[in-house]
Amino acid sequence: MDFLPIFMKMRGAPALVVGGGDVALRKARLLHEAGCRLTIVAPECHPELAEWIASGGVRQLARGFMPEDIAGQRLVIAATDDEAVNAQVSALCMAQNIPVNVVDNPRLCSFIMPSIIDRSPVIVAISSSGGLPVLARWLRTQIEALLPAGLARLGRFGQEVRPRLKTAMPDANQRRGFWERLLASPWAEQMMNGDEARARADFDRALAEHNAPPVGAVYLVGGGPGNPDLLTFRALRLMQQADVVLYDNLVAPEIVELTRRDADRIYVGKRASQHTLPQEDINSLLVRLAKEGKRVVRLKGGDPFMFGRGGEEIETLAEHGIPFEVVPGITSANGAAAYAGIPLTHRDHAQSCVFVTGHRRDGSIDLDWAAITRPQQTVVIYMGVSTAPALCAALIEHGKAADTPAAVVERATTRAQRVLTGTLTTLPGLIAEHQIQSPALIIVGDVVKLAGTLAWFDGAGRVG
């Protein structure tokens, strides 16, 4: 380990930045945010630095660097474009054991500035030991996407209750176990989401009961159309925190693999006319698992409220008083249309879009034909592959032209995506010939004609 990771308390402490340009500004901004008593040594300063100086928040020595400038400083940063000056600052500081950083020159540094994720009081610092700063910044973007903004609220609450918790639990191991249980429960999500009144009440209850297990919760999470990159940040975070994950056939295997490794994964099936568990049993299982104190993710393809039976499931949860949350996902229709190059609306072709399901609860396809056969309208049919011949025939029977463009998109947004285009007359044959399987969507309307021109995804993960 080339550098010791350390967090320094700098509020009210003197710090010096030698230099006044863009690079100096970036370093000075961090010191300023940390509450330092900041001095800038530079004949001229960046306009933002000049504003701080004018307001009296920062002191400027409007000249070149002099050795006596480092006297009494807690920390020094050299950020000039003069290598000789930077080397002089470094040598003087090291001789006096003053921490010094020379920007972009690790050899002259006694400390380096990490890439920072700020969720104060929670701070994450990332470093490449000065070897490749761009790598540290790239890692920051990857990690930052997983850290909710509400983490700061959680950190502040921890600071607030620390003395109280220490009094209630003098033993450090007991306190650690208490926090581990609490942070692994839905309580953490309550606090981070701003439901502070309930979170405080639950904290008080947990503290009074000490070792009582926390109440569970259910999260209905939209897994999107299949491509893992299209998951929301919140969906991914909850998937990686879950104790139990219930998923079905419409969730891509790559999505399931992103759930927590040691979570219990329960496949509940739900192919058309093939149910590993009936819907009523799934509802009951969600209730039972939550009552056991578990964090349950009900992972659904697309969006939970778009033909995903999410409404039925949360009705049961509400009846039993189970806390729940719905996390929207990119709908299968939006994903399929976008990746197939078929805009669902287009002012030259379609002014409206209708979403329908290819079969109802009783297996029938008795749809509102008058509503879905209107002109200049796109129709997206979920779960319609197995009934495509009857659906296409019924659309023609109720007024749609036999040569109306139609497409089927199988495993949309993934490397296995296939797009077949034809007409209401030819589409059922294409589906049979190419053995199209669920998950797949049917899109009907003039916008399908644009697929040949606007298609950008080749199904192998490449653009173009």
- Written as one letter, the residue type at 315 is E
Q: Are strands 295-300 and 217-222 parallel, antiparallel or unpaired?
A: parallel
Judge whether 27 counts as a catalytic residue.
no
- 140 vs 109 pLDDT, higher one: 109
Extract the annotated binding site for NAD(+): 22-23, 43-44
Q: How far apart are CA 77 and CA 18, in angstroms?
A: 6
Judge whether 248 counts as a catalytic residue.
yes
Strand partners for 41: 18, 61
Q: How far apart are CA 193 and CA 249, in angstroms?
A: 30
Residues 6+ apart with CB under 8 A from 426: none
CATH 3.30.950.10 fits 333-454, yes or no: yes
Q: Are 130 and 120 in contact (CB under 8 A)?
A: no
- Does residue 286 surpass a pLDDT of 90? yes
Q: What is the pLDDT of residue 366?
A: 79
pLDDT digits 0-9 by tens, 303-331: 999 988 889 999 999 999 999 999 999 99
Residues 6+ apart with CB under 8 A from 94: 100, 110
The percentage of the chain sitting over the pLDDT mark of 70, rounded to a whole number, equals 94
Burial grade of 183 (CB within 10 A; 0-12, 13-18, 19 or more)? middle
pLDDT digits 0-9 by tens, 416-461: 999 999 999 999 999 999 999 989 999 999 999 999 899 999 765 4
The active-site residue, picked from 69, 202, 243, 248, is: 248
- Could you tell me which of 347, 108, 306 has the C-alpha nearest to residue 220? 306
pLDDT-derived band at 261 (thresholds 50, 70, 90) equals confident
- Could you tell me which of 390, 391, 424 has the C-alpha nearest to residue 407? 424
| Six token digits for residue 436 | 């199209």
Q: How far apart are CA 464 and CA 457, in angstroms?
A: 6
Extract the annotated binding site: 22-23, 43-44, 225, 301-303, 383, 412
- 183 vs 16 pLDDT, higher one: 16
Q: Are 363 and 274 in contact (CB under 8 A)?
A: no
How many CB atoms neighbour CB 308 within 10 A?
24
CATH class of the domain defined by 14-113: alpha beta
Q: How far apart are CA 141 and CA 219, in angstroms?
A: 26
Burial 20-55 (b: 16+ CB within 10 A, else e): beebbbebbebbbebebbbbbbbeebbeebeebbee
Q: What is the pLDDT of residue 464?
A: 41
Q: What is the pLDDT of residue 182?
A: 84
**Cis peptide bond prior to 121, omega within 30° of 0:** yes
| Six token digits for residue 327 | 């996390």
Extract the annotated binding site for S-adenosyl-L-methionine: 225, 301-303, 383, 412
> Of 50-64, 69-83, 175-189, 308-322, where does mean pLDDT reach its minimum?
175-189
**Domain 217-330: which topology?**
Cobalt-precorrin-4 Transmethylase; domain 1 (3.40.1010)
pLDDT-derived band at 462 (thresholds 50, 70, 90) equals very low
Q: What is the pLDDT of residue 461?
A: 45
Strand partners for 396: none
Q: How far apart are CA 171 and CA 35, in angstroms?
A: 34
Question: What is the rounded average pLDDT of the residues 365-385?
Answer: 91
Alpha carbon separation from 435 to 152, 165, 253, 420 (Å, rounded): 51, 62, 20, 11
Q: Are 282 and 246 in contact (CB under 8 A)?
A: yes
Burial grade of 82 (CB within 10 A; 0-12, 13-18, 19 or more)? middle
Q: What is the pLDDT of residue 216?
A: 82
| Six token digits for residue 137 | 């910044």
Question: What is the rounded average pLDDT of the residues 280-298?
Answer: 92
> Of 91-100, 106-115, 125-134, 287-296, where does mean pLDDT reach its minimum?
125-134
Q: How far apart are CA 322 and CA 338, in angstroms?
A: 36
Q: How far apart are CA 29 and CA 118, in angstroms?
A: 13
Q: Are 341 and 316 in contact (CB under 8 A)?
A: no
What DSSP designation does 271 have?
B
Q: What is the pLDDT of residue 206?
A: 85
pLDDT-derived band at 189 (thresholds 50, 70, 90) equals confident
- Does residue 214 surpass a pLDDT of 70? no
| Six token digits for residue 289 | 């698992």
How many CB atoms neighbour CB 107 within 10 A?
8
Q: Which residue has the tokens 């994720």?
A: 117
- Does residue 363 surpass a pLDDT of 80? no
Residues recorded for the chain: 464
pLDDT-derived band at 359 (thresholds 50, 70, 90) equals low
Q: How far apart are CA 243 and CA 264, in angstroms?
A: 6
- 197 vs 275 pLDDT, higher one: 197
CATH class of the domain defined by 151-209: mainly alpha
- Could you tell me which of 94, 133, 140 has the C-alpha nearest to residue 117? 140
Q: How far apart are CA 403 and CA 352, in angstroms?
A: 20
- Does residue 57 surpass a pLDDT of 80? yes
Domain ranges of the chain: 14-113, 151-209, 217-330, 333-454
Q: What is the pLDDT of residue 276?
A: 67
How many CB atoms neighbour CB 318 within 10 A?
11
Q: How far apart are CA 245 and CA 37, in angstroms?
A: 51
The active-site residue, picked from 69, 243, 270, 400, is: 270
- Cα angle 243, 246, 250 (rounded to 5 degrees) comes to 140
Question: What is the rounded average pLDDT of the residues 52-71?
Answer: 94
Q: What is the DSSP string of 90-142?
A: HHHHHHTT--EEETT-GGG-SS-PPEEEEETTEEEEE--TTS-HHHHHHHHHH
What integer best gives the mean pLDDT of the chain?
A: 89
Query: Across 131-145, 192-206, 219-233, 263-277, which has the greatest mean pLDDT?
Result: 219-233
